[in-house]
Amino acid sequence: MKNKKITSLLVSNESQFNRTSNLSSEISAKLANHHLTSNLFQYHSKRVTSNQNGLHKNLDVIVNKHIYHPYQRPIRQHNIVAFNLLYEKFSIGKLPQIILDSCCGTAMSTIALAEKNPDALVVGVDQSIYRLSKNRQSTLLPENCLLIQANCEDIWRLSVEYQLPITHHYIYYPNPWPKSVHLKRRWHGHPVFPYLQPLAKHTILRSNWLLYLAEFARAWELLTGLLFAVNEVSVIEPVTLFEKKYVNSGQAAYELVLSSS
Ligand SMILES: C[S@@+](CC[C@H](N)C(=O)[O-])C[C@H]1O[C@@H](n2cnc3c(N)ncnc32)[C@H](O)[C@@H]1O
């Protein structure tokens, strides 16, 4: 909604601009300046702020609870339908492996991964049809790429149940849910978290909020006994639209690369 507002502001500035030829140069200059500032605002993305100043105090308790009490929520019908699309495409194709791009948004990263990995089926999952369909008319999907509208938590459980050969699982810029009270909405605080170990050999996350990845790493340690470090990455070519937005706003990008064994 916010983006829409910004876009329409830019569009109306543009048309205003074209009608200024007979205005005084002073007014034109003001409009030009406003136009420029609006463009800059496209990349003015706020840093994540939180009322937490370290790992959540209940992190270990919550993660351990989810490890010992499996997630019971019934899988929703629309996610079963989406999973069937994935299963069918994988079964009829001759590709030996799958790469998953969870919370893929507009699928910029999914398409790039598919182009880089022609011997894998690359699947982008997002719950938002608005994000998934953005730019779709203008961008053709590679043959080895599939986008599904679904909730990751159900796709992950079904993929584990059907033992899909997922080699790499990317989660780029998950929603941070920075308020302390929202720990359970972060993927490492969610009851589905234990499924992430059997889901894929390698799990790769990026975030502009270091604490999110630090918590994820701690939760992974509780789940697998394996300890991994979060690194800052220097981004030359952004892999996703959110990354582009954060990097252009001068924010750091962090990455966590995990193995399941
Ligand atoms: C911050 S955006 C990042 C999008 C993309 N990865 C990027 O970096 O540009 C987070 C995305 O996660 C999606 N999302 C949030 N919860 C989800 C869920 N449970 N299942 C699937 N997608 C989800 C949202 O619709 C949104 O597109």
pLDDT digits (tens, 9 = 90+) for 39-98: 444 567 999 999 999 999 999 999 999 999 999 999 999 999 999 999 999 999 989 999
Give the pairing of strands 145-149 and 120-126. parallel
State the first-to-last Cα distance of the chain, in angstroms, to the nearest integer: 42
CA of 113 to the centre of ligand 1 (A): 17
pLDDT at position 204: 98
pLDDT at position 251: 97
How many other C-beta atoms can be found within 10 angstroms of the C-beta atom of residue 180?
13
- Cα distances (angstroms) measured from residue 100 to each of 140, 153, 156, 169, 220: 19, 13, 10, 5, 19
What CATH number belongs to 59-259?
Answer: 3.40.50.150
Rounded to the nearest 10 degrees, how much is the dihedral formed by the CA atoms of 62, 186, 218, 83?
A: 100
Q: Identify the DSSP state of 71.
A: -
pLDDT at position 43: 63
pLDDT at position 42: 56
Q: Identify the DSSP state of 55.
A: S
- Please give the distance of CA 221 from its chain centroid, rounded to a whole number: 22
Is there an atom of ligand 1 within 6 Å of 35 CB? no
Site to probe by mutation for ligand 1, drawn from 100, 155, 175, 213 as the one with most ligand atoms within 8 Å of Cβ, is: 175
pLDDT at position 237: 96
Give the pairing of strands 253-259 and 230-233. antiparallel
**pLDDT lower than 50: segments of the chain:** 1-41
pLDDT at position 135: 73
Nearest CA to ligand 1 atom 12: 103
Partners of 258 in the β-ladder: 203
Phi, psi of 148 (to 5 degrees): -130, 140
3-state secondary structure of 229: coil
What pTM was computed for the model? 0.85
